Structure 1
C-alpha cells in the first residue's frame, strides 16, 4: 500500500471529506480500474445500466480523475434532481468525478448561487436546531412548505433515525442548506 496515496486523498470540490461522511473507507483491495491497492475505496455502488455492483471496488483517485466513469460507464453522484440552473461542467464534475452519498429515498444534491453545493454529511442536532433564518427560508422555499413543517421535522429529528437531514454548503456565499429525507 502506497502511504503517500493514503495520506493524500484527492480533493473533491463537491464532497470535501467523503471519509468523514462514510462514503469512502479504508481498504486493502485493489481498485477495479487502476488495479492498485491505494488504501481507500468508494463504499457505495455507482449508477449504471448494468446489474454489476461496483461498491468497494473503485478507488477515490479513479473517481477524481474521471477514469472510473469513462472506463466503467458509471456515475457516482446523482445530478438530475438539482432545482437550480448550474453549468454543465459542474453537473459533469458532480456526476462523474464526485463520490455520491447514501440517503433514504436516493440522494438529492442541492445548488445555490448557480453552482452545485458541497455535501458535508448528516446534520447534527445542533446544526438543525440552530439553523439560520436564511437556511430555514431556503428549505421552506425549495419544499413549498412553511416554518411550521420545518419545526415539526426538527423537533422529531434524531441523527441516524427515520428522518435524515443532509447538510450542504454553498461554495460562493456559505449558505448552509439541508435536504430532508425520510425512511
Structure 2
C-alpha cells in the first residue's frame, strides 16, 4: 500500500536492523507491555512470527517506509483477529526520531481502509496507556472513540499501568470518510 509519503509492505528479513533500532529505544516502548529489545535476534524472531502470521492469515503487520528514502520508520498491524465477529486489534510504533510528522496517522489510515474495505473488518480496537497523549490524539483524530478504562491492567517496566480502550466501527469510518 502507498500513501502520499509512505509505503506499507510486509516485513522482510532485511528489516531486522531497522526494527531493532526502533524497538530497542526505551522511548518507543515506554507504553508497551514489553521491555526494549536487547539483541538483534529479537528482531529476527519478530519478523519470523510476522512471516508465519502472513501464511496462516492471523495478522497483517506492515513495515512503514518513507517513500523517498525507503527507510523503515515503524510498523503498523491489524492483529488478534476474531473472525466470527469481524473484529481485530490495532498496533503501531514509529521511530522516535520521526514523531510529530503525522506518519502514524497516515499509515494507520491506510491500514484501516484496507481492513474495512478489503478484509471486511467491522470493528477495530486499540488499548493504550492513558499517559500516552500522542497515541490518544492519533486514535481520536482517526475517529476512534473511548470505550472504557481499566486501572492497573498491565505491569509495564516495573509499574502497574492503566488502559484506555478505544473502538472504531466501519460505520464510524464510513461516516468520517463521507463528511
Shared fold per TM-score greater than 0.5 = no
Larger radius of gyration, structure 1 or 2? 1
From the two aligned structures, give the one with the greater strand fraction.
2
What TM-score, normalized by structure 2, do the two folds share? 0.28
What TM-score, normalized by structure 1, do the two folds share? 0.28
From the two aligned structures, give the one with the greater helix fraction.
2
